[in-house]
Structure 1
Amino acid sequence: MIRLKKILYAWISKKFMGGCSHYNDLRVRKSCRSKEQARDVFAAANVPHAQGLIFLNPFKAIKFAKEVGFPLVIKPNVSGFSRGSYFPIENVRQLWRAIFLAKLWWPYTVVEQYLQGNNYRVVVANGQVMSVLQRYAPFVTGDGIASIDQLIDRENAIREQMNLYPCISPLQKGQQTLKFLAKSGYNLTTVPNLNQQVLLFYRISLAPGGVVEVIDKETIPAVNQTLFKNVLQRFDANILGIDVIMEKGISTDYRQQKCIFLEVNSRPYLHMHAFPRYGEAEDLSIHFAQLEKLNIQQTDTY
């Protein structure tokens, strides 16, 4: 059985976790595996988080929506890279569809309140804030002249010149993009106004063309940094990738704004920190040197 688990984990790591870190032991990784576990820890530590529940029966999610209201987010209880996540969900029809699609990834599903705001990945390691990225869904910015089709080509050319591939993906023009644009009455021939930002997909993920921006850690208030460090301590981890949404932004005291901690990642994808679309990639070698000195147990066991 142990040998089988190692083979399975090796396959999972190769298929889905290329570029992810390996600096936590099995005990920590198990404690971070589901959204429910993270939410329980957040609640115990008074860390702001979304009201939500885990469900197998879809009617529990419908009842939750009636009690809490929209917008909501649906996501598998166990997943990564935003796979199977759907947001913002604004009505019951969208909710039913999202439940069905999310359950293709995992039978137990999360429904949570959704906050429109600034989305961050905060990596905390060895008791320090190691790196902070702001994450963006795929988009183009209009100039009043070029069509969305031309703007996509222009942006993809910039990404290629910056050598962001294959870590960052090109913007897409397929059915996924066309359907999403159509919801706003747009198509590839639409000419956005000057400085108008047009979303090409809702998901904040690298696969459909999302990008990241390096945030200067010096701009983050001490109270916010302390909160992130406390989360690392609560999970007794060497490193965590913490996903958080802040209404006003990470440079504002979290107590003075709406703020939702989403989940923690015990094997954060660190490769993307070297390939920001905006800002300068940081030299994280000091942090990596410290992490490499750790004696991690059961790295090959899921």
Structure 2
Amino acid sequence: MQLLHKFLSRFFLSGCSDYNPLSVRRACRSKAQARQSFEKNNLPYAKGTAFISPVSAFKFAKKNGFPLAIKPNVGGFSRGAYFPIQSKTQLLKASFGVKKWWPVSIVEEYLLGKNYRVVMTKFGVMSVLRRYPPFVIGDGKNSISTLIDMENAIRVKMDLLPVTRLIPKNSAIKKYLKSQNMNLANVLNSGQKVYLHPKISLKLGSSIEVLDNNKISEKNLKDLKKILDFFNANILGIDVICKQGVEVDFDAQACIFLELNARPFLKMHDKPRYGKAENLSEFYDKLEEIEVSDNEKY
């Protein structure tokens, strides 16, 4: 178990925190487990189901329609995730493609909205991030390719690497642009915002914005604390999509809780593309004082 933990920590969980005991990590490791906890705490979540055979995914699509998302039941950093799935052809590809990451997969409803990571600790809200897929904003003069270069130069100047990565010009970016009837040579109108990929992934050049913790409504704070207490966790990275925002009560808007991260990647909080980096030393000091059991096992 220690060897497995070292392997996963090095190649898949590099830089992730380790402030929860093994019992907590195992209790909220899978997306199916997270969905059960959301249901038990009366929190909005994406309707979905776990599947091994793609047949089950197609049955779910027939009953609930599109758009959908497919993800590995266990995993993070958007690895192996496919969304938004809008057709049976895309569903078939995703149902098989996801299997290289984990044998059990999740198919669920997809909601387009504002994507947040709230890091909740037993000492209160540590940080609130809004996460963006890679995008550029036109200036009426430069091509998308040049706009990517300009954005990447800003990231280098801000010393955001390697946490916030450069936006690539790879096949995934080109393919998504093509789906919007665009390519790297297109010149965007001034102020025109174009997303280069739907996925929030550091590998694809996604970016983060640090938000004021006070933006979260009082009721939302209570709901987030309920999840932390439900697992008796020291810290959780809670991912949620809101149509309006975290300042509006979760149950008063279109909203879905996505997943829980018992080992949240905290380095990205130090390198935001937007907003001001926070001094989180007070939380780190308190977390370091907690005696954690079995943290070298998976």
TM-score (norm 1): 0.97
> How far did 1:229 drift?
1.0
Alignment pair present for 1:157 and 2:153: yes
Per-residue Cα deviation, 1:25-45 (whole angstroms, up to 9, x for no partner): 000000011111111111111
Match of 1:184 among 180, 189, 193: 180
Where in structure 2 are the equivalents of 1:87-106 lying within 5 Å? 87-106=83-102
Match of 2:49 among 37, 46, 53: 53
Query: Partner of 2:119 in structure 1?
Result: 123
Query: Partner of 1:291 in structure 2?
Result: 287
Alignment pair present for 1:167 and 2:163: yes
Match of 2:64 among 68, 78, 83: 68
Where in structure 2 are the equivalents of 1:199-238 lying within 5 Å? 199-238=195-234
Tell me which amino acid in the other structure corresponds to 2:30.
Answer: S
Question: Structure 2: which 5+ runs fail to align?
Answer: none
C-alpha distance in 1 between matches for 2:283 and 2:290: 12
Per-residue Cα deviation, 1:33-68 (whole angstroms, up to 9, x for no partner): 111111111111111101100001111110111111
TM-score (norm 2): 0.98
C-alpha distance in 2 between matches for 1:174 and 1:68: 33
C-alpha distance in 1 between matches for 2:160 and 2:10: 21
> How far did 1:206 drift?
0.9
Match of 1:242 among 234, 238, 256: 238
Match of 1:81 among 72, 77, 80: 77
Are the aligned partners of 2:123 and 2:283 in contact in 1 as well (CA < 8 Å)?
no
Secondary structure in structure 1 of the residue aligned to 2:203: coil
RMSD: 0.8
**Aligned-residue identity in percent:** 50
C-alpha distance in 1 between matches for 2:293 and 2:41: 27
Secondary structure in structure 1 of the residue aligned to 2:108: strand
Q: How many residues align?
A: 298
Are the aligned partners of 1:25 and 1:299 in contact in 2 as well (CA < 8 Å)?
yes
> How far did 1:22 drift?
0.5
Are the aligned partners of 2:72 and 2:106 in contact in 1 as well (CA < 8 Å)?
yes
Are the aligned partners of 1:147 and 1:192 in contact in 2 as well (CA < 8 Å)?
yes
Query: Partner of 2:191 in structure 1?
Result: 195
Runs of 4+ in 1 over 4 A off after TM superposition: none
Question: Structure 1: which 5+ runs fail to align?
Answer: none
Alignment pair present for 1:29 and 2:25: yes
> How far did 1:85 drift?
0.4
Are the aligned partners of 2:236 and 2:263 in contact in 1 as well (CA < 8 Å)?
yes
Per-residue Cα deviation, 1:92-138 (whole angstroms, up to 9, x for no partner): 11111111111111111100001110000000011411100000001
Secondary structure in structure 2 of the residue aligned to 1:103: helix
